[in-house]
Amino acid sequence: MEALLLSLLVWIGTHSTLNVEGVELPKVIEMTPTEITREMYRHSGLTAKTPEVNERVIALYDPTAADTGTIYVLAAQLAPRAGKYADKLANPYFQERLLHELVHHVQYRTGEIERLPCRAAAEGEAYRLAGRFIRERGLPDPLPNRRFWTYFYSRC
């Protein structure tokens, strides 16, 4: 996982204006759909007696968890096309999810998040870079209507 995170960090540094130099790697915890839904509820402040699995929640970043922040992500074997890869970490769709959250990690660790008009604005760069990552690999985008969702989730 460390080698993958380092390569994604380099990719972010070469494809954006974010300065990745000296950024420590976050902790990564792979989860089931039930676990990541519970984690989303825990961080959102929402309550649910028995939260149902939210299939839209595939990854989260918590800058305050662990000394270096934590990425919660659906387990690699649950990513699209996982069966095509003997090494589940080699799956570009899993990597795209990690990259999105790693962008947030860099935004927090470099103070970039403080320069944005609101926290939601950080989503724009993360969605754009993740989309570019997938396009560069010649794969279909796992997020239909990425431009719409980029706009929707990055509004202040």
Tens digits of per-residue pLDDT, 74-102?
999 999 999 999 999 999 999 999 999 99
| Rg value, the chain, Cα | 15
The two beta strands, 27-31 and 70-74, are parallel
Q: How many CA atoms lie within 13 A of 81 on its CB side?
A: 14
**pLDDT score at 4:** 98
**pLDDT score at 21:** 96
35-39, 104-108, 150-154, range with greatest mean pLDDT: 104-108
Residue 10's alpha-carbon distances to 16, 23, 72, 99, 106, in angstroms, are 10, 11, 21, 11, 11
Conformation bin of residue 61: beta by default, left when phi > 0, alpha when psi is -120 to 50: beta
Cβ(106)–Cβ(98) under 8 Å?
no
Residue 31's alpha-carbon distances to 28, 59, 105, 113, in angstroms, are 10, 9, 18, 26
